[in-house]
A and B are shown apart, each in its own frame.
Chain A
Amino acid sequence: MTGTDLEVEVRLPSGRGNPVWKAAPTVLLRFRSLFAALAVGAFLVSVVATAYPLVVSASENELLASAIGNATVTPYGMGVAYRSNGVGFDQAFPGSGELIWQEREDVFTQEAARSAELGPTERAILGDVVTVTDRGGEPPASGPVEGRLFAGTSALAHVRVLSGADGPGVWLPDYVATPLRAEPGDHVILHSDSSEVRVAVDGVYASLYTRPRQGYWRLWNDQIYPCPEITCSAPPQFILSDLDRMQPLSEALGFSRATFAWQAPAVTDPPLTLTQASRLAAFSDGLKRRMSVGAPLFRLFRCCGRTFHRGGSSDVTFTGNADLVVQQVEQRIAAVQGPMVVLLVAGLAIALAVVATAGVFVVLGRRVEMGVLTIRGWGPLAFGSRAALETVLPALIGGGAGFAVALAVVTWAGPAASASSQARAAALAAAIAGTIISIVAVGVVSGVAFVSRHEHRHRIARVIVALPWELAAFAAAWALARSLSEGGVVESGGIQRPQPAVFLFPLALALGVGILTARLARFALRRVRSRGSGVTSSWLAVRRLRSSPGLTSLFLVAGILTLSVSGAALATVASLRTTVEAKAKVFVGSQVQVQVGRDAEVVSGYGFPLTMVTRFREAGSIDDLETTFDLLLVDPETFASAAYWNDAFSDDPLPTLLDRLSTPREDGAVPVVVANGGGLAPDSITVGQHRVPVSPVGTASTFPGTSSDTRPLLVMDRNALETAFRGVPDPLATPRAITEIWIDGPSREVVESIDELGVFPLLVITAEEVQDVPFIDAAVQTFLVLQVLGFAAVALLVVVAVVYLNARQRGRAVATTLSDRMGMPRSTMRTASVIELGALLLVAAVIGTAAGLASASVVVPSLDPLPSIPPEPLIVWPLAASFVTFLCLAAAALAGGSSADRGARRSSVAEVMRVAE
């Protein structure tokens, strides 16, 4: 009798409950690759779900900060302001005896304090017009100079100080100081009709009318810029005084009334979020209503418009631009949100595909467990539930990591502004939801995988599986392409956004191509016949691929889908960026365009390359054709140094064209370059009433300065034109001929240095402003993220494939060892793994890249950012990126295949054999 047969009392280990369920939460720790794959899947789901609210919120807040940062808005423009004129310094509020301005200030301050989004209330007082003379009482030779007393909280901080320092006197605008030759330390005399006061000059500042409008001064724009035309004469500019001295000074000049204003700017630290801005807009609207007719505060504020009262009449205004700013931000964010939703869906689809694939392996990768539990009567619900329970731990780890990474990436590498607390809460909720979705998805997929493997399926299910789904995908792609042929942009409520087809078309096309390729590959593999009598790597690789047709197909479809989407995104982003840059710079001429007066002359020594041109829209007609054309007069010597140029514009290099333009012709014809002419070769043109013979010396599809896609542009040397029109009325003496200075350099620095040009700028346009097309930006950003996601998915796919190959080869440890003994060279076995993975990756890369480029060639033309400006959208093939992708995939195949083969040799054959005993 052996020890095992002894009749000793034996008890089963204690513990009721189902041991399978009890072990489920930690059982995947035994399957590290599967655990890692599920964690990665949950990580991706969480990243995508978390990033969406964070990015949207941060983008909103960045746009808001940008809008508030606009000089014409500033925190003052975001805040609330009240102004009323004709208020007596000593005027009492009827019934209370309080000074009316004091009462208003108290109530306004109290009201503003109710909003957490508003800062302290500031007061401003605008007095009457005074005449200013020097201390001798003499007006300047150019005539009397007028000014207007003004005092305001921190007013001096919102002017450009030219000279001086704070003191007991006043600050003069240079509009006043220059004719009087007044300088800090001097004295001037302020005259009213009834009195005069001698005041010290503390300093001189740049007159406000010469400066761009600013938020702080918005209440007074009607007093600073009395008429919109730049040629209007300046109104009396403000003579700045202290608030404390305003009333005595005014009264000394005999003024008993003034215009009083209070404004509460928006808080700046921390910056407002869009939610706060919306709250501020609502508060502003409410306050205005409370001041309006019949409301509680009307009697005190009498807002708004011209009101008549016992003391006379007042122009009363209340402003609060928060609602406009919020609307502007929402318009821009709406153009981003649509693509972001598509991005969210695509990202979730990719992430959930990873989760689902891992979910399939949770069941199918554990064949024995599946068989054992099947004979125990387990069904899809039990399998799915157990798989879900097993996924909790990796999903929590992946989901938590995804939330943290998304938060960190958006914070440090995302939009400049931070996300709101609500967005963070939403992101946390999304991460939790994403984690739960991952768990549920694994459960569902596992249940379905069980059904597909072990349950009896109805015939209809087999029919559905056998359907040629690529036809459905191609049909969807065809419908989407048709939709795109009518334009990739939709407009609603004045907001343009890319239509979903822009993003869905590449997916549909890639899916169709992927399924078709997989089907053809299976067909081809079935028909491969062996030649020769040995065992080669390719002989083995082909058989491996053929023996797993389902996995081969799945990998090909997934690979082509991800690589195609990545390729399409890569090409689309490159194309859109190139197109929008080309169009913007063609329109502007260079990086910055400054429109100046016709006779303006630039001082020498300016810091950036520049050229001066004259753009003459609808300058005349081409003889015989009666075609209207635009004319661009250039300076051939400086043009190339500053103007934007792309060699794709012309067969001839720009210097050659310019050289031909500046070379006089013996026949007297004016050399011209014909751009956007569609083959035009004019002999003569008529400008005004004057006919000029011309000689085309070059052609271009477009040319810097082109502003219409329907009219040809004739480019001419300015001197040649002057010669041709000598003795006849100047053809450029028309408002349609605009003199422009094109400057090449960083936009911000160029704009800040425009003062150094020594010319009066009528208008400044930058290429960046023209490039700022919200829907293009939205499309570019979306494709950029798709590109990153696509490549991440490709990388993940490779990892999954390697993990699978590794697991498969490990499961074939006995076969591999037997092969070794049979004389199979390890290098051949390793090369077979490399070829197996490499063939799949190569096919996926070639077909995927081709499908991606085909997608881009459909999508890009549908997204013409500036359709009125040539050239047509440019399609850029990202050859370098594609080459790098191919190299990376080749390296992945080499490393992955080698790794898979090593996996087979890590198992102990002796152990396997011994266990078998």
Chain B
Amino acid sequence: MSRNDEVAVRFEGVVRTYRTPTGEVRALRDVSAELPRRGISAVVGPSGSGKSSLLRLVAGLDRPTEGSIVVKGIEVGRASNRRGRAVRRSTVGYVFQRPSDNLLAHLTVAEHLRLASRAAEVSDDELVATARALGIVHRLDHRPAELSGGEQQRVAVAQALASGASVVVADEPTAELDSEAAEGVLGRIADLAERDITFVLATHDPSVMSIAGHELALEHGVVAGSDEPRASAEPVEWTALRWPGIGDGDGPWMPAALGGAALRLRGISRSYGDGDESVRAVDRVDLDAAPGEVVALVGRSGSGKTTLLNIAAGWEVPDEGEVERPGGQDPTWSDVAVVPQHLGLMDELSVRENIEYPVRLAGESAARRDLVDDLLEQLGLSSLQRRSPRETSLGEQQRIAVARAVVLGPALIVADEPTAHQDAGSGAAVLRTLGDASLAGSCCVVATHDADVLGAVDRTVRMSDGRFVDG
């Protein structure tokens, strides 16, 4: 076997520059690398480092501004549109970062698998086996709206596997999965990797990195360790945030609205559906969280974490139980701020304007200008502040949402998977930001399956089937 046969993907001098209304974005700069034919290659690096851009180039969804990309002997960088489509049909499978982006709302899981397997000779038994391996066999006749985010992601991976592609490209495939689901997905991926299928996975997940036989590290669009200058490299300054009205070293500052507990949940239950279809998402849950405390909610996808956060945030009313939160039934952003999974950023505003938005509405623009600057810097967003959120990566968008949540120093911050799309460094920045907020008096309730988060919180609460469980 020649050396060429051992290489699944080869990058030579790949440059990708995007022209945006706010200027040029150089996503990749002279990337040269090889990914082996066998096994799993992990593409790692901070969010915004160019991982997604690189994966899109491998799948032929985009073309490099300069350079060459050869996938299984096919020059996809310069392939015709027709050739590119053929590659996507039969050679490269792709899994989008956001689970819901991989699915058609009107098709069932089974139909998605059939659609994916049309170009390949895959039997029904094999499709069922794939679904079983990913824990979605009981969802075959369900539509995306009836699936949790984790289940959607597993269906997306199943589709890529069902397509019979010899190269599967997945952008953070486990980012929104709980550890058990991630384990199932990765186990199946590892099995298939043994069968001459190349996996190229962009990730920050250590569990993914642990099964990867090869790693390609990117940082600011260049291969980490290369001699390329990092023009936009932005060192993270771990300086204290300049909360208005607090001098350095003055200690915790308690938001005025707080009394005793920042959040008190008593006997909370919430069900969906009727009759046999009824699902008890949250079942008689009690929770107290104090000002300045960071509480982590962990559990599998579908365990009820988001429902509980919705109730805590005031988006949903429980069927049973009592909720006491800052601001009562009609909290303001100063009372309860949120970092939802659907980030709710305003595309019409720049990154900075999104963070400033609650400040402007509170009439505190002048008072919190320094804080906004600090947040931009701490979360690695300074160079992006004039861009639209659409021109940033998902991880960067998530950090914008975190900054927006803490900027008014609210009594309660509810964050749903705030580090799901972050690399280790950015994840640490997010945690530090939440920690700074808690030091300033905010209570943070964070749903997560990120082990790094668990090490940075004051208390961890585990959920399963809508209940808190020990351990």
Contact = CB atoms under 8 A, between A and B. Distances in A.
Is B truly associated with A? yes
A812 B354 CA distance: 14
A374 B305 contact: no
Given A543-B353, A916-B342, A917-B341, A20 B115 contact: yes
A143 interface: no
Contacts of A23: 106-107
Nearest to B131: A10
B332 A823 contact: yes
Given A19-B115, A814-B344, A914-B310, A374 B145 contact: no
Contacts of B96: 371, 375
Contact of B103 (A372, A379, A914, A916): A372
A914 B361 contact: no
Interface string A7-26: 10011110010111001000
A818 B128 contact: no
B115 A10 contact: no
A871 B374 CA distance: 75
Given A19-B114, A377-B89, A368 B103 contact: yes
Nearest to B180: A2
B6 interface: no
Given A547-B348, A821-B336, A375 B342 contact: no
A10, A544, A819, A909: most-surrounded residue (chain B CB, <10 A) = A10
B204 interface: no
A374 B102 CA distance: 10
A352 B359 CA distance: 47
B340 interface: yes
Contacts of B132: 5, 7, 10
A319 interface: no
A823 B335 CA distance: 11
Given A10-B132, A913-B310, A814 B115 contact: no
Contact of B106 (A5, A30, A371, A451): A30
Contacts of A819: 346, 357, 361
Contacts of B113: 12
A13 B110 contact: yes
Contacts of B106: 23, 27, 30
B59 interface: yes
A377 B88 contact: yes
A885 interface: no
B85 A910 contact: no
B3 interface: no
A4 B142 CA distance: 14
Contact of A822 (B89, B118, B302, B358): B358
B138 A368 contact: no
Contacts of A19: 107, 111-112, 114-115
A18 B346 CA distance: 37
Given A12-B114, A821-B331, A917 B148 contact: yes
A379, A534, A910: most-surrounded residue (chain B CB, <10 A) = A910
Interface string B266-281: 0000001000000001
Q: Report the contact-size class of chain A (Cβ under 8 Å from the partner).
A: 35 or more
A815 B306 contact: no
A455 B310 CA distance: 40
Contacts of A123: none
B107 A20 contact: yes
B382 interface: no
A463 interface: no
B416 A916 contact: yes
A823 B361 contact: yes
A374 B127 contact: no
A535 interface: yes
B301 interface: yes
A573 to B, nearest CB: 41
B392 interface: no
B360 A534 contact: yes
Nearest to A7: B132
Interface stretch (B41-49, B222-230, B362-370): B362-370
A891 interface: no
Nearest to A549: B21
Contacts of B140: 10, 12-13
Contacts of A13: 108, 110, 140-141
B93, B301, B358: most-surrounded residue (chain A CB, <10 A) = B358
Contacts of A548: 348
B119 interface: yes
A546 B353 CA distance: 14
Contact of A379 (B81, B119, B301): B81
Given A12-B110, A454-B61, A913-B306, A377 B360 contact: no
A30 B82 CA distance: 31
Contacts of A372: 101-104
Nearest to B353: A543
B257 interface: no
Contact of A915 (B63, B108, B145): B145
A915 B306 CA distance: 9
B368 to A, nearest CB: 10
B61 A818 contact: no
Interface in A793-836: 812, 814-815, 817-819, 821-824
A760 interface: no
A909 B361 contact: no
A255 B376 CA distance: 122
B86 interface: yes
B360 A375 contact: no
A489 B368 CA distance: 70
A375 B88 contact: yes
Contact of A815 (B333, B346, B358): B346
Contact of A11 (B128, B145, B309, B360): B128
A523 interface: no
A13, A533, A818: most-surrounded residue (chain B CB, <10 A) = A818
Interface string A447-477: 0000100111000000000000000000000
Interface string A890-917: 0000000000000000000110111111
B176 to A, nearest CB: 9
A544 B348 contact: yes
Given A372-B102, A534-B360, A815 B85 contact: no
A916 B110 contact: no
Given A11-B128, A12-B124, A377-B89, A917 B305 contact: yes
Nearest to B95: A375
Contact of B124 (A4, A11, A910): A11
Contacts of B128: 10-12
A5 B136 CA distance: 9
B85 A377 contact: yes
A606 interface: no
A533 B353 contact: no
A533 B366 contact: yes
B13 interface: no
Interface in A533-588: 533-535, 540, 543-544, 546-549
A910 B309 CA distance: 10
Interface in B395-420: 416
B336 to A, nearest CB: 7
Contact of A368 (B101, B110, B348): B101
A814 B316 contact: no
B363 A533 contact: yes
14 contacts: A10-B131, A13-B108, A18-B118, A19-B115, A376-B116, A376-B119, A376-B163, A377-B85, A377-B90, A454-B61, A815-B346, A822-B358, A823-B332, A909-B315
Given A910-B310, A917-B148, 12 more contacts: A4-B135, A12-B113, A375-B94, A375-B96, A376-B88, A377-B89, A535-B360, A535-B361, A547-B347, A814-B343, A818-B340, A914-B307
Interface of B: 21, 59, 61, 63, 81-82, 84-90, 93-94, 96, 100-108, 110-116, 118-119, 124, 127-128, 131-132, 135-138, 140-141, 145, 148-149, 163, 272, 281, 301-302, 305-307, 309-310, 315-316, 331-333, 336-338, 340-349, 353, 357-358, 360-363, 365-366, 388, 416
